[in-house]
Every structure is written in C-alpha cells, then in structure tokens.
Amino acid sequence: MKLRRHPTGIASRPPAGERRRFIGALVALGAGALMPAAQSFGQGKPFITRPIPSSGEALPVVGLGSWITFNVGNDRVARDSCAEVMRGFFDAGGRMIDSSPMYGSSQDVIGYGLQKLGKPPRTFSADKVWISSGSAGRAQIEKSRERWGVSRFDLVAVHNLLSWQQHLPTLFAMKAAGQIRYVGVTTSEGRRHQEIEEIMRREPLDFVQVSYSAVERDVEARILPLARDRGIAVVVNRPFREGALIRSVKRQPLPAWASEADCGNWAEFLLKFIVSHPAVLCAIPATTSVTHVRENMGACLGRLPDEAMRRRMAAHVEQL
Amino acid sequence: MSEWWTYSLSDFLLFSGRTYYRLIELYNIDIWPVQSVALALGCIIVALLWRPREGQGRFIAAILALCWIWVAWAFHWRHFVTINWAAPYFAYVFAVEALLLIVFGVVRDDLAFAPGSLWHRIGLTVVLFSVFAQPLIAPLVGRGLLQAEVFGVAPDPTAVATLGTLLAGGRRALWQMGVIPLMWCILSGAVTWTLGSRDALVIPVVTVVVLAAAATKTARRA
C-alpha cells in the first residue's frame, strides 16, 4: 500500500477502497485483542470497536474524558478514587483516555492512576496542545507526556483550534518522527464549525473532536459526513452535556423499546445514539464514579441502533 | 477568543464544588493553627472599629495587608494552584491589594472612620459577619467545620471584611482600596453560583449591600 505525499511533505492516507480492505483486517485483529476484558465485562455480548480510518487500529466506542472530574489536585483520597474509575474503565475493556493541559491537574491524576494500575498496555493516550505560542507547543507536549508518565502520546490534538496554524505543522512533524501516532484538532459546544471544516478539508488529520449528543446534533449536517469522506476519526466530547442531559432524562423511565438496541440504562441509551453514527469513532464521557464508568462502558456491548431507531431515540430525548 | 458570546462561566470552571471545598479542607488542615491567629486578628479589627481612635486606621490596614499577603501566598500560590492554573494570577492581584493597603492605609493613613454614622455601622456589621458568621456557613450547609472559610486565611471572608472596613473608613478609602476586594467578591459569587453551592447567594448579597451603601454614601456627599 503506497502512501501519497501531502503538499506539506507529510504522508497522506491511501485511497478509500484500499484503506477499507486494510482496515477490515486490522479491525479483526484489534477486536480480538480486546475480547478477554470485554467478555468478562459483557458476559458474552459482542464488544463494539471501531477502526481509526487512517490506520485501521480498532478502539472501543467509549473512552474516558477527564474534564473537571479528574482535576482533584493533590488530594490523595480523590486521586485514589480517580484511579479506581480508571481501573473500572480498563477492566471493562476501555482504552482511550483524553485530557488536556487546560484541565488543571487532570494529567497528573491520570499519570498517578496509570502508575498505580501498572501502566496498562492497552492505554490509548489522547492529549492536546493548548498554548498561544506555536514555538512553545513541543515543550508543552513534553511536559504533558511527563505528567502522564507515558513514553509517547498516541494522539495529540490542537485544543479548541488555539493557534492551530502554528501547532499543526509541529504535530505532523512529530508524527513523522514517530513521537506521536495521530494528529487531530478539537472544538466543543458547536463552536467554530466552519473553521474546523476548512481544516478538515485542507489538512491530513487523523482525528477531530467535537460535541455531539441526542439534543446537540449540528455536526450531523456537515462535520460528520465530511469526516467520513475524508477518513477522519470523530471523537465526541461532552456526550452528556456535562451531566445535565443525563440528569434530565433520568427523571423518566427508560422506554421499553430501548432493549432492542441492548440499552439497559440511560447512559447506554445516550451513548449508543452517539456511537451508532457511522462517522463516530468513540465518545468520551467523564465521570468520578466507578458505577457510572461501568454503565458508560455498557454502550460498547451488544447491538447498536440502526438509523430508524436513532431517529426514534433523538425524537424521544427531545420530547423529554 | 472567537464566538466569545457563546461562552459562559461554566466553560472556564475547571473544578467541581466537591473538589473546591475539599481543597479548602486540606488547606485548613495544612495551615492549622494559623486560623486561630487570623481569628484573633479579626477580633482586633472588630474591637478597633467599634471605637476607632486616631491612628488606628493604620493598624487595621496593616492587619488587612498581612491577611491579603497570606492568602496570596498560602492559599492561591500554594494550594489553589493545584486545581486552577489561574491561581498565580490571583496571587499577584491579592499581593497588589496588600500593597494598596500599605500605601494608602498605612503610609498615607487614608482610613477616616466616622463612628456612629450609618455607613460605619453597616461596615462594622459586614466585618462582624465575615469574622464570626462566614466560618459557620460551611457546617450550616452540611460541608463540615473542616471546610470552614475563615477570615484572614480564606479569600472570601478576607475580601468581605476588607470591604466592610473600607465602607466604614470613608469614601476615598473605599475607591482606593476597595476595587480588588469588590472584583473578587463578584468573581467568587459567580463561581459559587456556577458550582451550585447551597450558600451561593451569600457573597452576592453582601456585595450588593456594600455597593448600595457605598452608592448612597457617594450620592449624599455629592
């Protein structure tokens, strides 16, 4: 499989058909590697992964965010509690953990948790660069890496498009040098979608991170189809709208028809709506609760809703 | 920052209420028994304000400056920074307030108390509230005494006590040294509101009382 050269000198991804065949083989391998943890967690239900389009590497459709929840400072009790959340996440087959230098002490807390759990080899480390100065990007990424205590990041994305014109060339160079594996950009709460679209069209991104939920569906119109066309993996942040959405729907009983998509609780319902979109790689809910992380990981199990059911789910949540 | 109108305070709040009040708890444990010294200093301010005499304004300003420096260093610089990367900036601002208290309150002796006046009474009431009532709010709303915010060591009651003192100490003093405490109270009120704290209304109400009293004071003198 030949790699095309991007105008910037960075290798671009292969044509879609060739890529799909390559991906298919890798997906099978990736899913297989995850099966032991997933089987013990899911009691025999199939464990759902999705391939990263640019490489074919399979990732579970639910990751772990760290915004607010892991920013607990030097509080040892709270750090241990976060480590238990991470343990629950890994035990359920989870891989991607997401953070940013903007999230206070979250990177340190993740590093503490990884160290305590013996640095699980399945960890997929996703972090961001968030600094105005382009020349300071590398130093910030290195500091973040030290805080995590990992040998290298799997994914580094430009946080909220801050100085993306300066940071993207650095990230592509780091990827070419093998210092990181994937490059992305992020935004949240529906901001700067036009700009992110332009970047997606122009740059050979591996990942894009956006907000998406049953009640916040702007990205369905352009961002998600574009990501699919361009072979860019979509990570979904704030799937519960910082808890407000799930707190709101939890007042109502889960509809009986939710079981048709193997949804046993509202967390699974809301997450399966998101990850069943064909362009979405995974959602990254954040939590401080082991119970909740297990509920969230339940969205990796069983059947996903089809398009008709997705419409029904969105209509139902909007009605609530 | 593009699309700035789409942002709210919650977009910038890095921590949960549980984490913030747990930080206060760990801070209180770490600095004990400094709280008792601070409380004693608060009592001295109350006693001096009760019957102010010439020259005592310098002493009160010096005590407040000491408290602001302590909060800048011990709270913002050493503790709050662990959950908020903006804390060092707050430390600088608190140090500036300490400097203002030294320059205008200690060196220039600009605190001019008028015992018996309405604003002196209101100012003294605000100081009494900050020293004796604010530490009780945490246990009253179920957070426990260890999470009490004490005058002289925690930012909110220190800012409130300063505003009360300046209200009692004359219009000029209020505008010279009151801007930073006022801004802090507005910020803190917004943060506690966003955190959903049960005592979220306390700081905004005190701030409105001080502002209203200051406004009537200014209007009457105009």
The predicted pLDDT at position A37 comes to: 52
- Mark which residues 44-83 of B lie under 8 Å from A by CB: 79, 82-83
| CB half-sphere exposure, B42, CA atoms < 13 A | 30
Q: Are A232 and A201 in contact (CB under 8 A)?
A: no
* pLDDT band, very low/low/confident/very high, at A95 (cuts 50, 70, 90): very high
Give, in order, the Cα–Cα distances in Å from A242 to each of A189, A211, A238, A285, B155.
11, 11, 6, 8, 28
Nearest residue of A to residue B13 by CA position?
A68
CA distance A232 to chain B (A): 24
CB contact under 8 A, A191 and B14: no
Determine the average pLDDT of the residues in B48-55.
86
In a domain, A197, yes or no: yes
In a domain, A295, yes or no: yes
* pLDDT band, very low/low/confident/very high, at A35 (cuts 50, 70, 90): very low
Phi, psi of A183 (to 5 degrees): -125, 140
Determine the average pLDDT of the residues in B12-32.
95
In a domain, A17, yes or no: no
Which tokens go with A25? Answer: 């083989």
Give the pLDDT confidence of A154-208 residue by residue, as tens digits.
Answer: 999 999 999 999 999 999 999 999 999 999 999 987 788 899 999 999 999 999 9
Could you give the CA distance from residue A308 to residue A318 in angstroms, rounded to a whole number?
16
Determine the average pLDDT of the residues in A46-57.
96
In a domain, A1, yes or no: no
Nearest residue of A to residue B87 by CA position?
A104
The predicted pLDDT at position A189 comes to: 77
The predicted pLDDT at position A148 comes to: 98
Give the pLDDT confidence of A258-313 residue by residue, as tens digits.
Answer: 999 999 999 999 999 999 999 999 999 999 999 999 999 999 999 999 999 999 99
Domain ranges of chain B: 14-221
Q: Provide residues of A within 8 Å CB-CB of chain B.
A: 68-69, 71-75, 78, 102-105, 189-192, 195, 242, 288
CB contact under 8 A, A73 and B6: no
Nearest residue of A to residue B26 by CA position?
A75
Give the pLDDT confidence of B75-86 residue by residue, as tens digits.
Answer: 999 999 999 999
Determine the average pLDDT of the residues in A75-96.
97
- Of the candidates B13, B19, B84, the beta carbon closest to that of A78 is on B19
Determine the average pLDDT of the residues in A59-63.
98
Which tokens go with A210? Answer: 């956006």
**DSSP per position, A99-125:** --TTSTTHHHHHHHHHHHTT--TT-EE
Q: Are A124 and A95 in contact (CB under 8 A)?
A: yes
The predicted pLDDT at position A39 comes to: 52
In a domain, A201, yes or no: yes
The predicted pLDDT at position B6 comes to: 66
Determine the average pLDDT of the residues in B147-168.
97
State yes or no: pLDDT of A26 exceeds 60: no
CA distance A130 to chain B (A): 13
State yes or no: pLDDT of A43 exceeds 70: no
Determine the average pLDDT of the residues in B27-43.
98
CB contact under 8 A, A68 and B13: yes
Determine the average pLDDT of the residues in A206-226.
95
CB contact under 8 A, B83 and A71: yes
Domain residues for the domain of A234 are 50-319
Could you give the CA distance from residue A223 to residue A217 in angstroms, rounded to a whole number?
10
Determine the average pLDDT of the residues in A204-215.
96
Q: What is the CA radius of gyration of chain A?
A: 19
State yes or no: pLDDT of A9 exceeds 90: no
Q: Which CATH number goes with the domain that contains A289?
A: 3.20.20.100
| CB half-sphere exposure, B222, CA atoms < 13 A | 6
Which is it for the CA torsion A14, A18, A23, A26, positive or negative?
negative
In a domain, A94, yes or no: yes
The predicted pLDDT at position A42 comes to: 65
Could you give the CA distance from residue A128 to residue A67 in angstroms, rounded to a whole number?
12
Q: Are B206 and B126 in contact (CB under 8 A)?
A: yes
The predicted pLDDT at position A38 comes to: 54
The predicted pLDDT at position A114 comes to: 98
In a domain, A43, yes or no: no
The predicted pLDDT at position B214 comes to: 86
Give the pLDDT confidence of B90-144 residue by residue, as tens digits.
Answer: 999 999 999 999 999 999 999 988 888 899 999 999 999 999 999 999 999 999 9
CA-based nearest residue to A258, from A277, A271, A246? A271
**Structural element, H or E, at residue A79:** helix A76-91
**DSSP per position, A269-318:** HHHHHHHTSTTEEEE----S-HHHHHHHHGGGBSPPP-HHHHHHHHHHHH
Determine the average pLDDT of the residues in B210-217.
86
Q: Are strands A58-60 and A96-98 parallel, antiparallel or unpaired?
A: unpaired
CA distance B66 to chain A (A): 27
* pLDDT band, very low/low/confident/very high, at B147 (cuts 50, 70, 90): very high
CA distance B146 to chain A (A): 15
The predicted pLDDT at position A16 comes to: 41
Give the pLDDT confidence of A224-261 residue by residue, as tens digits.
Answer: 999 999 999 999 999 998 888 999 898 999 999 999 99
The predicted pLDDT at position B9 comes to: 75
CB contact under 8 A, A104 and B85: yes
DSSP 8-class letter at B51: S
> How many independent structural domains does chain A possess?
1
Give the pLDDT confidence of A109-157 residue by residue, as tens digits.
Answer: 999 999 999 999 999 999 999 999 999 999 999 999 999 999 999 999 9
Of A41-45, A96-100, A305-309, B155-159, give the lowest mean pLDDT range.
A41-45
Which chain B residues touch A74 with a CB distance below 8 Å? 26, 82
CB contact under 8 A, A103 and B14: yes
In a domain, A31, yes or no: no
- Of the candidates B6, B16, B19, the beta carbon closest to that of A191 is on B6
State yes or no: pLDDT of A24 exceeds 50: no
CB contact under 8 A, B22 and A105: no
Chain A interface includes B19 (CB < 8 A): yes
Q: Which residue is listed with tokens 């009691």?
A: A43
Which chain B residues touch A191 with a CB distance below 8 Å? 2-3, 6
Could you give the CA distance from residue A178 to residue B58 in angstroms, rounded to a whole number?
63
Which chain B residues touch A104 with a CB distance below 8 Å? 14-15, 82-85
Chain A interface includes B195 (CB < 8 A): no
CB contact under 8 A, A191 and B2: yes
Q: What is the overall mean pLDDT for chain B?
A: 92
